[in-house]
Amino acid sequence: MYVQFAELPVFDQDRAKAFYTDTFDCQVVADQPMGKDGWRWIELRFGGAETTLHFLRRGDEAPSVEPVLVFVDDDVEATVERLKSRGVEIVSEPQKAPWQPGRTVAEFRDSEGNRIVIASR
């Protein structure tokens, strides 16, 4: 058993799709019309992952107060540097996780204002 998709609230699907495909090399698994209002069913997959991201309609463009997802990465510091070089807002620099010794965490905001955590394994 595994989780098929995690829902990520977005306001602009094209902007979010471009952010995740350009920044994280996500592959588009699905991009199909859904309903009559122009909203689409979009799923993106990170390399080597089973679970995909599905874009859920966001009510407004207000940034999330708390993190909405946690990404696990082998090199948090390098990923944060890559995000900075692409102009991504870093909420917190890499630091030791106070709740889990030996784990490094950082946070950034995606194109839709979502707070995302990047954590080491």
Q: How far is CA 85 from CA 15, 25, 82, 89, in A?
A: 18, 15, 5, 10
Which pLDDT tens digit goes with each residue over 108-121? 999 999 999 999 98
Strands in 90-96's sheet, in edge-to-edge order, are 67-72, 115-119, 104-109, 90-96
Per-domain boundaries in the chain: 5-119
**Reported CATH class of domain 5-119:** alpha beta
What's this model's pTM, rounded to 2 decimal places? 0.91
Which one-letter amino acid corresponds to residue 32? Answer: Q
> How far apart are the two ends of the chain, measured CA to CA in Å?
21
**Tens digits of residue pLDDT in 31-46:** 999 988 899 999 999 9
Which are the contacts of 70, defined by CB distance < 8 A and separation ≥ 6? 116, 117, 118, 119
